[in-house]
Amino acid sequence: MTWLAISLIVIGLVFLVIGSIGILRLPDVFSRAHALSLTDSLGAIFVLLGLAVYEGFTINFLRIIVVLILVYLLNPVISHATIRAAYRSGLRPSKKENK
Amino acid sequence: MTTFFFFVLITLTLLMLVYFYRVVRGPSVFDRVLGLNGISTKAIVLLVVIGTLFERVDMFIDISTGYALLNLVGALAIAKFLEERGASEK
Amino acid sequence: MRIFAAIALFVLWLVLSASYNLIHITIGAIIASMISWFTPAGPLHVRRISWLAVLGYVPWLFGRILKSSFHVSRLILHPGLPIAPELIHHKTQLTSDGELVVLGNSITLTPGTITVEVAPGELVVHTIDKSSCKDLVNGLYDAKVSHLFLAKGDQ
């Protein structure tokens, strides 16, 4: 059980690191939001799931799952609100064509 | 196992520094908001990791739940304010 | 209808408070019944959701998220950064508030696509790549979301 928890946490950390690299590399605010959504939806979820598995099947397992569902429901709302504010105040995505 | 959780803690803190770079340098104000959002997501995870490290998860989960809800309200307020005002200040 | 909300709030109280003596359980029951009694019924009625379809939808969405996460990770780690961001206007048949919320949240949760603007019948979606918006343009998301709600149209 401990090894399952460790592997889940390490997978989550890998996604968190990739999201941070994306935050540094991507050119404009719309593209950076994609990297942030990658971080939120997989990295945090895997780390929290690993911590819940490490905790074992007690009441704390259920409470970590509640935090996980909160992150899952609320983070898209936040990033959509930010991106909509950027769109409505006149920013447009840059066309960087180097396929 | 304590060493592993300490490693996780250090990694999360370093990643928060990366987002903090985006908050300081970000060309537009929305980049800063996005960086703060990323930092707060890490902070939610970080609180649960600290709780596991100290073996007091029951207390720290409450703090992280409250942090998540407060973060939602604050981020929505900032986004609404910027939407009304526009990004006049670079 | 109200009793379901009260039971759900009470279970949430039990999970979050995690102290099971008489006075805490009584306080939780009183607060849950008061909240569900005083809150007006929102636009999202519990009876209209088919919970069986929700049970199928959540694992499907998680599979989509995994798949597109690997795609976006490969784009980010690629040395040439081969992204082609664009805004697409996505026409949809879904008009009710609940369906639009579920559709927009699912699109934003999937890496590679982000909902920018929502109006009944049209979504503005920002995509990072041609291939990550393929299923959205095909209407796969619309079909899946429209199965979640039993009665369509009003509300």
- What residues pair up with C88 in beta bridges, in sequence order? C125
Q: Which of A29-33, B28-32, B44-48, C48-52 has the lowest mean pLDDT?
A: C48-52
Dump pLDDT digits (tens) for C30-86.
998 898 888 776 555 555 677 788 888 889 988 888 888 888 888 888 887 777 888
Annotated domain spans of chain A: 2-88
The pLDDT value given to residue C114: 86
Tokens of B55: 């073996």
Sign of CA dihedral B2, B19, C83, C134: positive
Dump pLDDT digits (tens) for B40-88.
989 999 999 999 888 888 888 889 999 999 999 998 998 888 888 765 5
Mean pLDDT value across residues C80-107: 81
> In whole angstroms, what is the distance from residue A13 CA to residue C73 CA?
13
Annotated domain spans of chain C: 2-38, 48-146
Side chain identity at residue A65, one-letter code: I
Yes or no, beta carbons of C16 and B62 under 8 Å apart: yes
Report chain A residues whose CB lies below 8 A from the CB of B1: 2
Annotated domain spans of chain B: 2-85
The pLDDT value given to residue C44: 52
Predicted-assembly ipTM surpassing the 0.95 threshold: no
Q: Is C123 left (phi over 0), alpha (psi -120 to 50) or beta?
A: beta
Q: Is the pLDDT of residue C139 over 50?
A: yes
Contacts 24+ apart (CB under 8 A), B42-47: B42/A16, B42/A44, B42/B12, B42/B15, B42/B16, B43/B16, B43/B67, B44/A44, B44/A67, B44/A71, B44/B68, B44/B71, B45/A44, B45/A47, B45/A48, B45/B12, B46/B9, B46/B12, B46/B13, B46/B16
> Whose structure tokens read 């929700």?
C54
- CA angle centred on A82, ends A78 and A88, rounded to 5°: 140
Q: C23 at the B interface (CB within 8 A)?
A: no
Phi/psi at C12 (5° precision) = -60, -40
> In Å, what is the CA distance from A96 to each residue of A24, A80, A92, C80, C114?
16, 22, 12, 12, 18
Bridge-based pairing state of the strands C113-119 and C86-91: unpaired
End-to-end CA distance of chain A: 44
Neighbour-count burial of C113, counting CB atoms closer than 10 A to its CB (0-12 exposed, 13-18 middle, 19+ buried)? buried
Residue A99 to chain B, least CA–CA distance (Å): 25
Q: Name the residue facing A29 among B30, B69, B75 (closest C-beta).
A: B30
Report chain C residues whose CB lies below 8 A from the CB of A30: 85, 114, 116, 126
Dump pLDDT digits (tens) for C104-136.
888 888 888 888 888 887 888 888 877 777 777
Q: Is the pLDDT of residue B90 over 50?
A: no
What residues contact residue A41 under an 8 Å CB cut-off, 6+ apart? A72, A75, C65, C69, C109, C110, C111
3-state secondary structure of C129: coil
Report chain A residues whose CB lies below 8 A from the CB of C83: 26, 31, 96
| DSSP state at residue C48 | G
